[in-house]
Amino acid sequence: MSSQLFDAAQLRRALTRIAHEILERNGGADGLALVGIRTHGVPLAGRIAESIGLIEGGDAPAVGAMDITLYRDDAGQLGSTAILHPTDVPFDVNHMTIVLVDDVLYTGRTIRSAMDALMDLGRPAAIQLAVAVDRGHRELPIRADYVGKNVPTSREQKVVVELTELDDRDGVFLQEASHGA
Amino acid sequence: MERKRHLLGLEGVSAEDIQVLLDSAETMIEISQRDVKKVPVLRGKTVVNLFLENSTRTRISFEIAAKRLSADTINLSGGGSSLSKGETLADTARNLAAMSPDAIVIRHPSAGAAILLAEVLDCPIINAGDGAHEHPTQALLDLFTIRQAKPELKGLTVTIVGDILHSRVARSNIYGLLTLGAKVRLCGPPTLLPPMFEHLGAELHYDLATAVRDADVMMMLRIQRERQGHNFFPTLDEYARYFCLTEELLAEASSDVIILHPGPMNRGIEISSGVADGPYSLMMNQVANGVAMRMAVLYQLIIPGHDGIRGSEIPERTPTSATG
C-alpha cells in the first residue's frame, strides 16, 4: 500500500513557501547559504535556492552538498554504508547562516550528524533546518525551522520523497510496512 | 559470525571492490583538504601498526590515515617488540589480538606474513608490504593517482620498469591494473624480469625504448642499491645506461604520459632529474593520495556491514607449505 502525500505541484508550492519563510525569518538572502544532505536533500536545496533567487530578483544563494556517512552514530550497524559520496561545500561557512535541507525529518540523528559535519567546516553564524516532510518520532531534541508538511506516521510506515533529479517523478509517498523497509 | 575482511594483496580482489575503494578515497581527499582534518567514523576503534621492516612513509601514511578517521593507533616496530626477544610472529599476533584491535596493519620482510596473521587472528589484516609478495595499498594509491589524471583505466598502456623480480609494488600493480582492464608492460634486465611474469598476463620488454613507445603511464621502480654485487646487473652505471628514463626516451611515449615512482627514488639511476621534476611527474600527488587511499581502506575494512567490499580471500595452504 502506498498513498500520495504530495503531488508535483504541491511539492513545488511547499518549497516556494519555504523559500519565502527563509527570507522572512532572515530578513533577506544576505549571508545565507543552503547545504543539502545527500542524496535527496541536495536537489531540494537547489530548488529552494533557485526560488529564493527568483523572489529576491538577484543571485540564488550558494548551495553545497553534504555526505554524513562518516559522522553517523550507527556506523557499522547498517549494511548500506559502503558507498561514500564526497562532501562538496564550495564556500566559506564561517559567519554564514546555513540552512540544512533534507527530505524527511524522522529520528533527528541524521541532522545531528550533519550539524557535526558542518561545524568541522567552520563556524556558521547560525544553522537552520528545512525539510520536505516531518514524520515525527524524534529521538533527539531537534526540530525543523521550515517544514513542507507534517505527517503523523507509525514507525512501521515509510515516507518516500521522489525528485525528478534522482527518480522518475516528483512526489511524496507514504508506504505501509509491507512495502517498506 | 560475520566474515572479517582483509586486504592481503590485490591478487583475487574484484574490480568492484577496487572501484569502491578508489571512490571512497575521493571522499577522503576532501577531508584532508579541510581545516579540521578529522571525521569521527572510527572513534573508539584501535588500529595496530605492526612494522617489522624499516619504513617511514608507509607507516606515517597509515598513522595519519587512522588519526584522520579518529581511530587510536598503536605503533610497534621490530626493535622494540618481543619479536627481537625470540617470540614468533604468530605468538606476537595472538598477544596483540588479546588487546582487541579493530585492524592490524603489518609490514614484514617475509612474503606471506600478512596471510599468516589473517589465519590466526579474528580481525581485519592490512598488508603494508610483505617481502617480495605484495604491497596493495601502494598499488591502490597508484591506481587512484592514474585515475585522477586519466578517468578511464581500461585500455591504458602502463609500463613498469626496474627490478620487477623483487618488487611487491610491481606485483600488486600488475594484479590491480589487469583487473581493471589496463595493458601492462614490464621492462628490466632479464635477471630482474624472469619469463614467469608473462603468465600473469603482462607483456615483457628488455629494451626500454620499445617499452616506452605510446605508453600512457610510466611507473619507475626503485633500484635497490643493496642488490648491486648480487649478479643481477654488473654496475649501477650500466643499469642506468639501459634503464634510466630520460626526457629523450620519454618523447616516444603518449603525448600526455604521466610518471609514477613509489619512492624513495635514485636520481640518475632509474629516473633522470629532468623527468623526476618534469610536469608529467605525479610523485607528490602519490604521497598525498596515499593518506586518502589508506583512510578508504581502513574505513571499508572496519565499518560497512554485509554489503561492503569482500576484500582478499585467505589462500588455501597446500600440504607442503603447511609444514614449512
Q: What is the separation of C-alpha A10 from the centre of its chain, rounded to a whole number of angstroms?
A: 17
Q: Does B307 touch chain A (CB under 8 A)?
A: yes
Residue B257 has pLDDT above 70, yes or no: yes
- What is the model's pLDDT at position B323? 43
| Burial category of B286 from C-beta neighbours within 10 Å (exposed 0-12, middle 13-18, buried 19 and up) | buried
pLDDT band at residue B138 under the 50/70/90 scheme: very high
- Distance in Å, alpha carbon of A83 to nearest chain B alpha carbon: 7
**Please, what is the end-to-end C-alpha distance for chain B in angstroms?**
30
Q: Which fold has domain B15-135+289-302?
A: Rossmann fold (3.40.50)
Q: Is the peptide bond before B315 cis (omega within 30 degrees of 0)?
A: no
Question: pLDDT digits over B230-248, tens only?
Answer: 788 888 899 999 999 999 9
Residue B322 has pLDDT above 70, yes or no: no
Q: Do B35 and A80 touch (CB under 8 A)?
A: no
Q: Please enumerate in sequence order all residues whose Cβ is within 8 A of that of B96, keeping only pairs 6 or more positions apart, or say none.
A: B48, B50, B76, B104, B121
**How far apart are alpha carbons B187 and B165 in whole angstroms?**
11
Domains of chain B, by residue range, sit at 15-135+289-302, 137-285
Q: Do A120 and B41 touch (CB under 8 A)?
A: no
Average pLDDT value for chain B: 91
Q: Do A84 and B306 touch (CB under 8 A)?
A: no
Collapsing DSSP to helix, strand or coil, B169 comes out as helix
Q: Do A70 and B36 touch (CB under 8 A)?
A: no
pLDDT band at residue B226 under the 50/70/90 scheme: confident
**How far apart are alpha carbons A121 and A119 in whole angstroms?**
5
Q: Do A76 and B40 touch (CB under 8 A)?
A: no
Q: Of B42-46, B91-95, B146-150, where does mean pLDDT reach its minimum?
A: B91-95
Instruction: State the cell numbers at A75.
Output: 556506523
Collapsing DSSP to helix, strand or coil, B72 comes out as strand
pLDDT band at residue B319 under the 50/70/90 scheme: low
Among B20, B34, B305, beta carbon nearest to A121:
B34
Domains of chain A, by residue range, sit at 2-72+85-175
Q: Which fold has domain B137-285?
A: Rossmann fold (3.40.50)
Residues 49-108 of A with CB under 8 A from B: 67, 69-72, 75-88
If one compares B234 and B225, the residue with the highest pLDDT of the two is B234
Q: Please enumerate in sequence order all residues whose Cβ is within 8 A of that of B214, keeping only pairs 6 or more positions apart, or say none.
A: B157, B252, B253, B254
Going by C-alpha positions, the residue among B84, B126, B124, B103 that lies closest to residue B45 is B103
**How far apart are alpha carbons B311 and B9 in whole angstroms?**
9
Sign, CA dihedral B51-B97-B315-B22, equals negative
Q: What is the CATH number of domain A2-72+85-175?
A: 3.40.50.2020
Question: pLDDT digits over B166-185, tens only?
Answer: 999 999 999 999 999 999 99
Residue B14 has pLDDT above 70, yes or no: yes
Residue B79 has pLDDT above 70, yes or no: no
If one compares B79 and B33, the residue with the highest pLDDT of the two is B33
Q: Do B27 and A78 touch (CB under 8 A)?
A: no
Cβ-based contacts of B306 with chain A (< 8 Å): 79
| Burial category of B115 from C-beta neighbours within 10 Å (exposed 0-12, middle 13-18, buried 19 and up) | buried
pLDDT band at residue B324 under the 50/70/90 scheme: very low
Residue B122 has pLDDT above 70, yes or no: yes
A128 DSSP β-pair partners: A99
Question: pLDDT digits over A47-103, tens only?
Answer: 999 999 999 998 999 999 999 999 987 766 655 567 888 899 999 999 999 999 999
pLDDT band at residue A168 under the 50/70/90 scheme: very high
Cβ-based contacts of B35 with chain A (< 8 Å): 121-122
Rg of chain B taking only CA atoms, in angstroms: 19
Evaluate whether B15-135+289-302 and B137-285 have a shared fold.
yes
Residue B84 has pLDDT above 80, yes or no: no
Q: What percent of chain B has pLDDT over 90?
A: 76
Residues 61-80 of B with CB under 8 A from A: 69
Query: Residue A78: closest CA among chain B residues belongs to which residue?
Result: B305
- What is the model's pLDDT at position A181? 45
- What is the model's pLDDT at position A78? 56
- Identify the helix (H) or strand (E) that includes residue B120: helix B113-120
Q: What is the separation of C-alpha A124 from the centre of its chain, rounded to a whole number of angstroms?
A: 17
- What is the model's pLDDT at position B304? 77
What average pLDDT does this structure show over B149-169?
95
- What is the model's pLDDT at position A98? 98
- In eight-state DSSP terms, residue A148 is E
Residue B279 has pLDDT above 50, yes or no: yes
pLDDT band at residue B135 under the 50/70/90 scheme: very high
pLDDT band at residue A180 under the 50/70/90 scheme: very low
Average pLDDT value for chain A: 93
